[in-house]
Structure 1
Amino acid sequence: MTLERFFSWLAKSSNYQGARVMWSDSHLAIRTAIEDYLVYQMGCKLRSKENFQYVIMTKKSPQTINHFLAAIKSFYKTVLQLKLYEFQNPLVDADYSITIGKVKPSSMRENKPRLPKIAGTEIPYESSYRKQSDSYFKLVANEWKPNIIADQDLPYILYRAGSDIGWSLRDEVIIRMLFETGARINEILELTIGDYRQRINLYEIATLNKGSEKRRIKFLRFSQDTLKLLIRYVNSERKKYAHEKHTFTKLSDSEVIFLTRRGDPYNYRAFYSHWSKIIIQAKIKMNIHKTRHWFVTNMIRNIYDTASDSGEIEMKKHELINYMKWKDPETIKVYEHYFNEAAFREIHENMAKKMQEYEQEYLKGSQSYIEGNRFTNSILLTEEILPVEEIEWINEFYKGME
């Protein structure tokens, strides 16, 4: 009955690129149809990750969702075995590796409660140790609400810690871009010289967006100081290790900006080892993704500081949503006409200016800025930082960021 209802809906109501979806269509078409079915027929919410989707049950969702996902996965497994289907299984994450997590790491904490993986607080080898699923659609029972990072001094704590351990110019640029742009780490690590040349504005760079199939459909905006550091890195440290010994203006568009000492593209695992040393030096526990949360919280603070009335607040929040490329397509349609890149630049420049002012204060060494333990427990948002009515809004906004 579960499959019968789905295939009946597929024949009558599905839509992929203007046509009904058949069971034998490509795995991309089937996935799109299943996403629509889960959202509109079964009342679920979806949260996109790099190579899969979290399926979150709501009060409207039936308790049979797990049976539906298992049944449709088994169906395509069967037709593949019978050689009746020519594409990959739409219900399987093709990038999932069964070799991950065979060895228990020595640092695995025993008998400790753990947050769900969607929280993004576990380091890669810890997450990979625990039982994983190769499913493209992963069902989670409860929706996780992220912490809102609001400590204004957080970037400068990490900048000081990085400087204290002698971080590379490459890692300094990356971490500054994380805080200034609100980007995901992979969006920064995969940047190319051509991405910078694609934008007209000096302080912007084009980048991919999750789910955009490597197309540069969004941009990142950073400060003048970070641009200077980026060019200095490319012309000195990067040039030292690169296979092509060219400066910033002479490199080809396809050249990846961030490289290892072997001249290979810098990846997440390599960056994470340096990140870990920095947060240990800073004496805080912090996942890389929380730089993105910090960015949004501080952008909203600046919106409230600069807006003249409630209408302007709403408009600027909509501009922020579009800059972050919130995944909910219906939300994007509602907010699309508000988006104006010039207006966003004004907001961002104000935030970047304040960041520079706070950094200068921090580097003066005031005792109020360097007391180590105050940062550990002070980074959660309270009603004292933003109006209480905005906490629910920002929590909902973060769901679209994951």
Structure 2
Amino acid sequence: MFKYWYDYCPDSVKSRFELLVFDRQNQPFLPLTEHYHDCIGRISKSSALSYVQCLLPFFTWLDQFSNFQGKQVKWDDSPDIIRMAVEDYLMDEMACKVREKDTFRFVNRTNKSPNTVNRFLSALKSFYRSLIHLKQYRYSNPLIDSYAILNDYKSNTEGVRKDKPRMPSEAGTEDTTTHRRLTDSYFKLINEEWQPEIIGDIHLPYQVYQAGKKVNWSLREIVIARLLFETGARVSEVIELTIGDYRSRKSFQEANTFNKGSHGKRVKFLRFSKDTVKLLMQYINTERKKFDELQRNFNTLPDEATIFLTELGSPLTYESWYYHWDKAMKECEIKLNPHKTRHWFVTSRLREIYNTSTTEAEIKQKKNELTKYIKWKDEETIKVYEHFFDEESHRKAHDGMLESMAQQEQEYLEQKKKKLKKKPNLTVIENNFDGIEVDDEIQELFDGLE
């Protein structure tokens, strides 16, 4: 079965495209190709490629199975037709439940749905945004619910007086509006709030290093893996580092890098161990030097040179790197998405903060430092991780209580056995209580009644 696919343009071919998408007949498919290149600059290359990969199955399905009034749906059809096709795809191919609601649709994942539903919807919305921007799609974006935005706008601007605008909040005559980000998606995924992965295995990095050793990782892959675990950076923030990023920091254990959404601007830094510094310099002056076209070492490399190279001497890409990561994980049967190294880092740092801090003020200060280092846009994100530690603390306390209960139960049973073995010391005298010898336990009961 022929599918849509993509490939990178060979270095020997001159083209304005670095990546080309092909249709089922192996012909260049320019809409997706243009979309990929339009995304670059707004989002990282790895994110742009992720969008393309999410959309390839949809366009394959569109060619083979889409149907509207007996005709195959084309990507440039009107918004209503595109929406019907997407709804069919969500239900038939992604096992989702789609429910009509006013001017939009609610989408519910089922246990058979893949984890990529949200990414697919985001990618398709981005696709049409690009094609409208490039003047190749003549309608409004099918993935946007313009009516919802209009109605929300009206509800936040119309006052209680008929045909009059809202009074300012200082007037105190009208209820304040709730300021929130407008959800403009036509397909709204419900019950899909993002939760970070909480990874608590303190030995995870060493398991990964051993997996790499088993498949003979090069020094490059070893350094990158160590940087991911030690810095909490995203993969792209590591593999796209330049020599200048490393030189620009005062400390030899640090490097500047960009952040998600910073459009390549270096807005944060990474910090790593001295052992990783040694391996990094060894890589630059040996393995990297061998593949560098001019055989340059660290001292002779220009600032703009990328630190990590392929064996062809070109800058390392996410796809080229991921091949080696995936090979190691499969060889050792470790199910680990590389982005989880970032969650492992945050979990480990928070555990250290709680274990080493002596006051609540110290904990708060260190958490603020971590939030600034990670460069979270939403400072509330850390609360999800804290919830994990609250639960972990409860588990420990609860386990202690259960152990104590088990111990007390055992002591009770042993004491009961001893009492059963003990012969009672009783003398029964009718109608005369003088001189009666009473069992010790009964005597204690009598004493307590006085």
Scaled by the length of structure 2, what TM-score is found? 0.48
1:89 alignment partner in structure 2: none
Q: 1:229 aligns with which of 269, 275, 279?
A: 279
Structure 1: gaps (5+ residues): 1-47, 54-92, 120-126, 333-380, 390-402
Residues 1:264 and 2:296 aligned together: no
Cα 1:313–1:212, aligned 2, differ >3 Å: closer, same or farther? same
Cα 1:257–1:152, aligned 2, differ >3 Å: closer, same or farther? same
Cα 1:222–1:115, aligned 2, differ >3 Å: closer, same or farther? farther
Q: 2: CA distance between counterparts of 1:385 and 1:243?
A: 54
Q: 1:253 aligns with which of 300, 303, 308?
A: 303
* Deviation string, structure 1 residues 246-286 (Cα, Å, up to 9, x no partner): 11121110000001000111111111111111111221111
Per-residue deviation, 1:224: 0.4
Matches within 5 A, 1:172-211: 172-211=222-261
- Residues 100 and 129 of structure 1 are in contact (CA less than 8 Å); yes or no, is this contact kept in structure 2? no
Residues 1:161 and 2:211 aligned together: yes
Per-residue deviation, 1:140: 3.5
Cα 1:278–1:116, aligned 2, differ >3 Å: closer, same or farther? same
- Residues 118 and 144 of structure 1 are in contact (CA less than 8 Å); yes or no, is this contact kept in structure 2? no
Residues 1:143 and 2:193 aligned together: yes
Structure of higher CA gyration radius: 2
Residues 1:100 and 2:56 aligned together: yes
* Deviation string, structure 1 residues 198-229 (Cα, Å, up to 9, x no partner): 11011000001111121101000000000110
Matches within 5 A, 1:303-342: 303-328=353-378
The letter for the 1-side match of 2:250 is: I
The letter for the 1-side match of 2:318 is: Y
1:276 alignment partner in structure 2: 326
Q: CA RMSD in A?
A: 3.7
Cα 1:291–1:236, aligned 2, differ >3 Å: closer, same or farther? same
Point out which structure has higher relative CO (alpha carbons under 8 A, 6+ apart): 1
- Residues 301 and 386 of structure 1 are in contact (CA less than 8 Å); yes or no, is this contact kept in structure 2? no
Q: 2: CA distance between counterparts of 1:326 and 1:292?
A: 12
Cα 1:114–1:298, aligned 2, differ >3 Å: closer, same or farther? farther
1:19 alignment partner in structure 2: none
- Residues 148 and 297 of structure 1 are in contact (CA less than 8 Å); yes or no, is this contact kept in structure 2? yes
1:152 alignment partner in structure 2: 202
- Residues 103 and 129 of structure 1 are in contact (CA less than 8 Å); yes or no, is this contact kept in structure 2? no
Q: 2: CA distance between counterparts of 1:155 and 1:52?
A: 23
2:418 alignment partner in structure 1: none
Q: 1: CA distance between counterparts of 2:236 and 2:216?
A: 23
SS in 1 for 2:270: strand
Cα 1:51–1:283, aligned 2, differ >3 Å: closer, same or farther? closer
Q: 2: CA distance between counterparts of 1:385 and 1:237?
A: 46
Cα 1:206–1:213, aligned 2, differ >3 Å: closer, same or farther? same
Q: 1:170 aligns with which of 220, 228, 246?
A: 220
Q: 1: CA distance between counterparts of 2:327 and 2:254?
A: 29
1:116 alignment partner in structure 2: 115
* Deviation string, structure 1 residues 170-189 (Cα, Å, up to 9, x no partner): 01000110000000000001
Cα 1:291–1:255, aligned 2, differ >3 Å: closer, same or farther? same
The letter for the 2-side match of 1:310 is: E
Structure 2: gaps (5+ residues): 1-41, 62-92, 96-110, 130-183, 382-386, 396-450
* Deviation string, structure 1 residues 66-119 (Cα, Å, up to 9, x no partner): xxxxxxxxxxxxxxxxxxxxxxxxxxx999659734569xxxx99873453389
Scaled by the length of structure 1, what TM-score is found? 0.54
The letter for the 2-side match of 1:387 is: S
The letter for the 2-side match of 1:255 is: A
Per-residue deviation, 1:156: 0.3
Cα 1:383–1:259, aligned 2, differ >3 Å: closer, same or farther? same
Count the aligned residue pairs.
243
SS in 2 for 1:207: strand
Q: 1: CA distance between counterparts of 2:231 and 2:46?
A: 24
Q: 1:387 aligns with which of 379, 385, 393?
A: 393
The letter for the 1-side match of 2:232 is: G
Cα 1:159–1:117, aligned 2, differ >3 Å: closer, same or farther? same
Per-residue deviation, 1:387: 3.2
Matches within 5 A, 1:60-71: none
SS in 1 for 2:266: coil
- Residues 234 and 248 of structure 1 are in contact (CA less than 8 Å); yes or no, is this contact kept in structure 2? yes
Q: 2: CA distance between counterparts of 1:205 and 1:130?
A: 32
